[in-house]
Amino acid sequence: MLRHALRHPLQSLASITRQAFRRVIAPLFPCAPVIGVVGPDGVGKSTLLGLMTGGSKSIYTKVIVRHWRPGLLPNLGGRRPSAPAAAPRRHAGRMPWLRVAYYFLDYLLGHWLIDRRDTCRQRLVIYDRCALDMVVDPLRYGLSSARPARWLWRFSPKPDLIILLDGDPAIIHGRKPELPAEEIASQLAAWRAYVQDGTVGAVIDTATPPEVIADKVRELAIGATMKKLGAKPPNH
């Protein structure tokens, strides 16, 4: 390589410049999707994501899971943003609009600095919850109302596809009783409204075996990839 560079300096310089340029513009053309998996506690998100990261990667080089936000900025409560909470928060914090502005900055920076970097390398990025979850359950994020969260959702970068894991509130409560069954039913009703208006693009019944759910999510991810690339997804 050194001899070639010495003999053909202009050609080598042009090649290096092309490679550097491709690396710079690659995040502008991501080829893999960003997916959000949503639903109340106990619906089976952790089991699904474990299967997604430990099983077949399908057409992707890697499956990356993030917990509800990119996590470039530290958590306001001191807990690492990459780690799920041991129990859902059920009280509001101070200065909700400042809190939301902080999270908006994390979503914006994370979208351009890590999500696009990973998706342009054919890595599937899956969020365990997403910014819309703050609208459905504002107390979990220290908000006294959903109004600030609605503004966050309106202006922040969004997943290419949101998948709702749906099920019977009583069964979900039996798996994880941190929230009352009535609260679980209320959250599911809110999520179903987002299904009706098209914000949530797919619904999977959690009565289905986890391995089948994981296969369905992989199939939906491939469909989202084809849509992102402007190609027609294969018929199944």
DSSP string, the chain: -HHHHHH-HHHHHHHHHHHHHHHHHGGGS--S-EEEEE--TTSSHHHHHHHHHHS--TT-SEEEEEESS---SPPTTSS-TTS--SS---S--S-HHHHHHHHHHHHHHHIIIIIHHHHTTTEEEEEES-TTHHHH-GGGGT-SSSHHHHHHHHHS---SEEEEEE--HHHHHHH-TTS-HHHHHHHHHHHHHHHHTTSS-EEEETTS-HHHHHHHHHHHHHHHHHHHHTPPPPP-
Pair 24, 44 in one domain: no
Same domain for 66 and 141, yes or no, is yes
Specify the higher pLDDT residue, 113 or 4: 113
Q: Are residues 20 and 98 in the same domain?
A: no
235 found inside a domain = no
Which domain range does residue 20 map to? 1-30
Residue 72 lies in a domain: yes
pLDDT tens sequence across 174-194: 999 989 999 999 999 999 999
**93-110 average pLDDT score:** 94
pLDDT at 8: 76
236: pLDDT strictly greater than 50: no
Residues 24 and 116 in one domain: no
In this prediction, residues 122-132 reach a mean pLDDT of: 96
Q: Tell me, yes or no, whether 119 and 187 share the same domain.
A: yes
**Whole-number pLDDT of residue 161:** 97
- The fraction of the chain above a pLDDT of 90, given in percent, is 67
128 vs 87, more confident: 128
The per-residue pLDDT for 82 is: 54
Mean pLDDT of 61-88: 78
Reply yes or no on whether the pLDDT at 57 is more than 90: no
Q: How many independent structural domains does the chain possess?
A: 2
